[in-house]
Amino acid sequence: MDAATPARIAPLAARVLALAVLAPLAAWSSAAGASAPGQGQPCRGTIYLTFDTGSQSQAGLIATVLKRQGVKATFFLANEKTVNGDYSLDPAWAGYWRDRVAEGHAFGSHTFDHTYYVRDAAHGKIAVKPQFGPQAGRVQEWTAQQYCAELQRVGRRFEELTGQRLDPFWRAPGGKTSARTLAAGQACGYRHAAWATPAGFSGDELPVELASNAQLLRRALDGLRDGDIFMAHMGIWSRKDPWAPANLEPLIEGLKQKGYCFATLREHPDYRQ
């Protein structure tokens, strides 16, 4: 999301989204008193933490918390503008991504220019709107092959930066897909990885006035179940109180207390090769 996003979001739409995400909120009591699985003891289940690129304001914190907690996650990469004034797949970020590769995380495509699906167009084409790049903000009509090429651009850049190939999954910006985009991704070897349950959406894009970090944390801890994919961003321009500093480590620790373990999408039954 870019810095101008809040001005483009109608307050009513934001409120409706917040109500849909936060209702119902159950009391957060189930995490207390539970024990994490000991060595050799089976997990109650597995949660798959995933992070989409964004402003990258929380990139360092996310890396530190994951390393401290011994948790492996999956990162979905787009070439987004960062708080440093550069872009998340610029050479300046090569060291960051190489370190995450060395730590054993997984990596998927988030479209190179953070390109939103708009609608299905005539003659089998796909209407899209890139958020970044030379065509930013302009609706275009792409063939399936052009859409596939957009996914593959991330893989080429990632390999240039890290020497590592991208994993064979992708995530659409905003989670917006159609049968055509899913088929285009599948045709070039990428399977779409969304968050299947409401609890899998961190809510870190919502206005803090409508969704506090405490509410979002309680909702995730109460709602996540074995096999769920959880999605958060590596920084959101518009949110006044960032999600990750307040919630990431308590979320991981709370889920561990409930007996959950963590893995990358490489181990997920729907995405493992």
Domain boundaries, the chain: 44-262
The pLDDT score that the predictor gives to residue 37 is 52
The pLDDT score that the predictor gives to residue 23 is 44
Name residues of the chain where pLDDT drops below 50: 1-36, 38
The pLDDT score that the predictor gives to residue 190 is 97
Nearest to 198 by CA among 38, 5, 21: 21
The pLDDT score that the predictor gives to residue 17 is 44
Q: How far apart are CA 100 and CA 247, in angstroms?
A: 21
Q: How far apart are CA 17 and CA 38, in angstroms?
A: 39
Global pTM reads 0.86
The pLDDT score that the predictor gives to residue 11 is 38
Task: Kindly report the CATH class assigned to 44-262.
Answer: alpha beta
Q: Which residues contact 132 (CB under 8 A, 6 or more apart)?
A: 2, 78, 79, 80, 81, 87, 113, 114
The two structure tokens encoding residue 210: 């409508």
